[in-house]
Amino acid sequence: MEVILAKTAGFCFGVKRAVDTVYEQTGKGNVYTYGPIIHNEEVVKDLESKGVKVLNSEAELRALDKGTVVIRSHGVDRHIYDIINENNLELIDATCPFVKKIHNIADKDSSVGRQIVIIGSREHPEVQGICGWCNSEPVVLESIDDAIAYTNDTGSDLSIVAQTTFNHNNFNKIVEIFEKKGYNITVYNTICNATAMRQKEAADIAGQVDAMIVIGGRNSSNTQKLYDISKKECANTYYIQTLDDLDLATFESVDRVGITAGASTPHQIIKEVHGSMADDFGKLFEESLAEENRISQGKIVKGTVIDVKDDEIILNINYKADGIITKAEYSNDPSISLKDKVHVDDVIEAKVIKTNDGDGQVLLSVKRVAAEKANEELASAFENGEILKGVVTQAVKGGLVTSVGEARVFIPASLVSDTFENDLSKFVNQEIEFKLVEFEPRARKIIGDRKSLVKAEKEAAKKALFDRINVGDTVEGTVKNVTDFGAFIDLGGADGLLHISEMSWGRVDNPKKHFKVGDQVRAFIKDIQGEKIALSLKFEDTNPWVAAGDKYAVGNIVIGRVARMTDFGAFVELEPGVDALLHVSQISREHIDKPSSVLSVGQEIEAKVVDCRLEERKISLSMKELLPEIDEESNDYVDEEPVEKADTAEEAPVEEAAPVTEDTAAEATEEETDEAAGSGTEETPAEDSEE
C-alpha cells in the first residue's frame, strides 16, 4: 500500500504559537484560556491535566479576581480586553496575527461608515471576535446562497473580509456575486495562506488516491472544510480524531491512501495514524495478496451472465456472492436497453466497485473498465499529439462534452473553433475531431482542442486555393456575408469580395436584394492583392456595349425607362448596363426648367439616338427630334417634310438634337458628362475586398 501524507498537515503558525504560549504558562497556577485554546479535545485535556482551565463564558471571566488569561488564536471581542484589565488580570494575547489584521480592518473601515461584510460561520469564535471589533452592526454571510439573497439596503460602501479558514474557492465565488450586483466594494482576502495551501493540497491528494483520511477535532471548522473538499474528490473519505477512530478493515481493498489534518491537529496524532497505515495495515495488505480468489475493490473480474433484468445484470464471478451491474454502471447512455445488449451466458469483464452493495452482493462496473481502457488510449494520444474523434453528447455553457468510448473529454467554448460560436448546441450528436491539451484523469481534467485543427485546416485550404487561382479565372463559391458595399464569397480557403459595382453591368442599389447567405455564385477573379481577392460578375461576353453600336446607332428610334434624373437631364436605361442621357433641352420643343416637371422615374419613353460614342460608352437621346416643329406665327405644330435617312452619322441632321458635344458642354458640367457614361465602368480596387 502507498500512503501519501500532506506536507501542510497539522498545526498552522497561529495555532502552534498559541498552544506553545499556554504550555509555557503551565506550572504558574491560576492559568486560564478564554475558550478552548484549540479545537482539539486531546490537547485541551492534556493542558487541563497541567492545571490550565478553560473559561467558557464572559460571566466566568468577570468572576475572576486574579490569574493569567490567555487569549486564543481565534481572537475575541474588544470588550473582553476591557474586562481583563478592569479585574487586574494578567493578559497574554495569543491571537493569530492574521486574525488581528482582520480586527484592524473591521475597526478602521467601520469607523468611516463602511458596512463590514464577514464571510464565515457566525457561530465560529473567530467570526464572533471580528464582529466585536466593528463600530456598527456587521453582516455575516455563511454561504453562496446567503450572498445571492443579500441586498445592500443602506447603500453604504462595503468592506468584505473572510474567516481565515474559509473555503478559498467559495470566497471567490461570493466576491464575484457582489461584483455582479454592482455594489461599491473593497475586498480583503484575509484567508490564511496556510489554509489555502492546505485546502489545495488536500484536493490534489484526494484526487489521486482510493481512500482519504482527514484528522482533526470534531469542532474544528478548518478540518471540516478539509473533509468536505476531500469528499468531493474521493468518495471514500474518513474523518477521525485519533488513531482509535481508525478501522483498518475499512481499507483492506485500497492501493493508495491519502492523509491530511486540520490546523488544530497535533503532529503526534498525525504521526500515529501515518505509522499505523504504513506498518500495521501494510502487513495486513500483504497478507491479503496471498488469497488468490479474493474479491477486492478496484479489481478487474470476469463473470458469466446468469440473468438480465431491465435495470441490472447478474453475473457468476466464482465468488461467494454474485456480481451486480446496474444500468448506470453498464453505460452512460440512459436510453440503452440491457436486454437488447446483453444475454445469458455472455462473458463480461467488469471492475469491482464495492465488495458488498448492502445486500451481500458485489457491485461491478463495465463502463469504468471501458473508461480506463479509453483513458489509456487518450494518454497515448496526448503524449503523441494524435488527432482523436469523439461524439458530442452535451453542449453546456462553458463548452462541449464529447465521448471517446466511455471516457469523456471537455472542449472549452474558446477551443471549439477559431471564431466565436454563439450556438454550441448545433454540435450535439456530431462526430468532431480534436487534440488533447490537458490529460489529468484522476483530477477529471481531460481537455480537448478543436480550434487548432480548424485553423490548420483553413490554412491548408487557403494555401491550396492561392496556389491554383490566377487573375481571370472563373471560380464558384458560397455567399458568406452581404453588406451595403458588396458580398463576401467563400471560395473554399479564402473569401473573395464581390463589390457592388461588379455585381452587374447595370446599376445595383442594394446588394441584399440580389444575394443572400448560402447562395451559390459563379464569378471571375478580377484582381489578387496579397490575400485579398476581388471578384466580378461582369463577364465580357455579357457586356451589353459589345452590340451597342448596331442597336443604338445615330438615328435609331429606341424605347427606354427613366432610371434617374438631375437638373440637366434624365438618364434612360435602354437595357441593363446601358444608360443614355436625355438632356433637358432635348425633351420638348418648349422650354423646360427641370426634367422632373414632365418625366418621372420608371416612366417608359421613346426617343431618337442623336449621338453614340462607344469608346466613351456615351449615348445621347432626343425626344424633341420625334416631335413636329412649331410655327412661330401660329404657335402650332406644322407638318415636316420627310427626311431621307442619312448614310452616315455625319450626314444626319443633328444640329437640333443637342447631343452632349461642344455645343451643350456649357450646359452640362464635366461631372454631368461623366455621369452620362452610365454604369458598368467603375473599377473595383482589390483593397475593397477586406470586410
Spell out the SS3 assignment of 85-128: HHCCCEEEECCCHHHHHHHHHHHHHHHCCCEEEEECCCCCHHHH
Q: Which CATH architecture has domain 2-93?
A: 3-Layer(aba) Sandwich (3.40)
Query: Which pLDDT value is given to residue 105?
Result: 94
3-state SS, residue 4:
strand
Query: Which pLDDT value is given to residue 216?
Result: 82
Question: Are residues 211 and 237 in contact, defined by beta-carbon separation less than 8 angstroms?
Answer: yes
Query: Which pLDDT value is given to residue 298?
Result: 85
Query: Which pLDDT value is given to residue 294?
Result: 62
For 119: left if phi > 0, alpha if psi spans -120 to 50, otherwise beta; the answer is beta
DSSP state letter for 335: T
CA 167 to CA 222: how far, in whole Å? 9
Task: State pLDDT tens for residues 496-552.
Answer: 999 998 998 878 889 998 999 999 999 999 999 998 999 999 888 888 888 888 889
Q: Count CB atoms within 10 A of the CB of residue 670.
A: 8
Instruction: Quote the distance between the C-alpha of residue 219 and its chain's center.
Output: 40
Which residues of the chain form CATH 2.40.50.140? 300-365, 383-455, 469-542, 548-675
> E strands of 586-681, at which residues?
604-613, 618-622, 630-631, 636-637
Q: How far, CA to CA in Å, does 27 sit from each of 52, 354, 392?
A: 9, 53, 70
Class of domain 469-542: mainly beta
Task: State pLDDT tens for residues 187-235.
Answer: 998 887 667 778 888 899 999 888 899 888 777 777 888 999 999 999 8
Catalytic pick from 41, 90, 126, 671? Answer: 126
Query: Which pLDDT value is given to residue 332?
Result: 78
Question: Are residues 146 and 169 in contact, defined by beta-carbon separation less than 8 angstroms?
Answer: no
Quote the pTM value.
Answer: 0.38
Which residues of the chain form CATH 3.40.50.11270? 2-93
Question: Are residues 322 and 315 in contact, defined by beta-carbon separation less than 8 angstroms?
Answer: yes
CATH topology of domain 383-455: OB fold (Dihydrolipoamide Acetyltransferase, E2P) (2.40.50)
Which residues of the chain form CATH 3.40.1010.20? 97-191
CATH code for the structural domain at 97-191: 3.40.1010.20
Considering only the C-alpha atoms of the chain, give the largest distance between any 2 of them, rounded to a whole number of Å.
145
Regions in the chain scoring below 50 on pLDDT: 281-293, 640-691
Name the strands in the sheet holding 139-141, side by side, starting at the edge strand that comes first in the sequence: 139-141, 115-119, 158-162, 185-187
Q: In what helix (H) or strand (E) does residue 241 lie, and over which residues does it extend?
A: none
Alpha carbon dihedral 387, 389, 395, 398, in 10-degree steps, equals -20
Tell the residue number behind the cell numbers 480557403, with chain if given.
493
Question: Are residues 688 and 485 in contact, defined by beta-carbon separation less than 8 angstroms?
Answer: yes
Q: Count CB atoms within 10 A of the CB of residue 332.
A: 15
CA 374 to CA 404: how far, in whole Å? 7
Q: For residue 499, what are the β-bridge partners?
A: 486
CATH topology of domain 548-675: OB fold (Dihydrolipoamide Acetyltransferase, E2P) (2.40.50)
Q: Is 126 a catalytic residue?
A: yes
The reply to whether CATH 2.40.50.140 applies to domain 300-365 is: yes
- For 343, phi then psi, to 5°, come to -135, 155
Query: Which pLDDT value is given to residue 644?
Result: 44
Q: Count CB atoms within 10 A of the CB of residue 379.
A: 14
324, with CB counted inside 10 A (0-12, 13-18, 19+), is buried
CA 78 to CA 131: how far, in whole Å? 9
Q: Which amino acid is at 397?
A: K
